[in-house]
Chains A and B, each alone.
Chain A
């Protein structure tokens, strides 16, 4: 059974940093692109970043470029999102999800972790 479990969310001040983790199991992690998608409270879904199987290629939404870094540790079957210079508008539930290709839909999702940016 495919499982994606996020962790690392919490309350952080504007300008602060946070690192999200996603533990993957039930599939061959090294065979899949992975992604982060977020959802602000009461709002819709927004794709944030994606990373290739070997970590050699990454894509980001413009609003997080230069502040967020997606990475993965294939030995630990884990996906990460390093978030720096956080803003109030980054407040959201962050989901990790599995992709079926380099430019694709998301076939499995984690349960999400809430990030709140507030003073």
Chain B
């Protein structure tokens, strides 16, 4: 199975900051990567697919980049509504696998 490793596991930051989360794949997955946002007690929400394509309705402060084995999710200016846990997911190969998550919290 492809292992997905996210860093950091927790990110303490401030409103208005630029936030970057990294996701690394254990083998080349091309651009077959998605990012999700999950708030406590809620289902995950799709933010980005195919590494850099913004899902309809997602604010433009979210962006994704990367290919191969290294990917990033960037929030250009953190808003209070962005406090959540973020997951990456590869869909190049079955079994589909997720990263361990990055919790974004206020410093």
List CB contacts (< 8 Å) of B53-79 with chain A. Answer: 55
User: A27 on the interface (CB 8 Å rule)?
Assistant: no
- Which of the listed residues A35, A104, A106, A110 has the most CB atoms from chain B within 10 Å of its own CB? A106
User: A109 on the interface (CB 8 Å rule)?
Assistant: yes
Q: Is the CB of B43 within 8 A of A109?
A: yes
Q: Is the CB of A47 within 8 A of B96?
A: yes
Cα–Cα distance between A113 and B43 once the two chains are bound (Å): 11
12 A-B contact pairs sorted by A residue (CB < 8 Å):
A44-B101, A45-B44, A45-B87, A45-B101, A61-B95, A62-B1, A106-B34, A106-B36, A107-B49, A110-B43, A111-B42, A112-B43
User: A80 on the interface (CB 8 Å rule)?
Assistant: no
Cα–Cα distance between A100 and B50 once the two chains are bound (Å): 12
Q: Is the CB of B55 within 8 A of A47?
A: no
Q: Which residues of A are found within 8 Å of B36, using beta-carbon distances?
A: 45, 106
Q: Closest CB-CB distance, B95 to chain A, in whole Å?
A: 5
User: A46 on the interface (CB 8 Å rule)?
Assistant: yes
Which one of A61, A104, A111 lies within 8 Å of B43 (CB-CB)? Answer: A111
User: A116 on the interface (CB 8 Å rule)?
Assistant: no
In the complex formed, the residue of A with least CB distance to B92 is A103
